[in-house]
Structure 1
Amino acid sequence: MASLANRLTSISPKKRQYTTDHWQVLTSRHEPEDTLYKQLAFALRYEGINLLFFKKLFEKIPEETITSLVQIEPQGQYSRKVWF
C-alpha cells in the first residue's frame, strides 16, 4: 500500500468508500466546505503534509490570510500544522 503522502483523496457521489495504492475515495459526507481553511484541513487529514505545496501556497497568499487561517481554530491540530 502507498504511504499517505503518495495517495490522493477524492470525493465520489456514490455511497462507497475504498482505497487503492494511489487513491482514497470517500463519500459525499466527507466533502469539506468551500473555504480555504476547510480545504486545507481536509488535505492535511487525508493526504498528509506536502511541504512544497505549502511553500507555493504561502508565496501566493498574503500573510494576513495565513494569520486569519490559523486563528479560525487556534488550538486545532490543523491550524497548528499550517502555522508550523
Structure 2
Amino acid sequence: IDGPGLATFDLSLVKSLKFGGARTLQLRVESFNLFNRANFSIPTVGNLTVFSSPTEVNPTAGQITSTSTPARQVQLALRLSF
C-alpha cells in the first residue's frame, strides 16, 4: 500500500552581534514544519487473514489514522561566545 507524499519546510533565522572585542551574541529562531502541513502516515493494513476467516474484516483497513510528522514547532535560542 502506498501512502501520501511527505513535505515539510524548516526555517532558521540567525543574527550575530559583536561587542567588546571577541564577544559575540547570537540570536536564533528556528521553526520546524513552518506551514503546519499534516503529513499523513501510510494507510493501516490491519490483520489481513486470507484463509482463517474471510468474513472478518478490519474496519480501519486502508484508512489513514495518524500523521507521521509533528505539528509546527518553534524554538528560540540565545548564545553568548567569549
Give TM-score, length-normalised by structure 1. Answer: 0.15
Instruction: Return the structure number with greater helix share.
Output: 1
Q: Which has the higher contact order (CA 8 A, sep 6+)?
A: 2
TM-score (norm 2): 0.15
**Which has more strand, going by share of residues?**
2
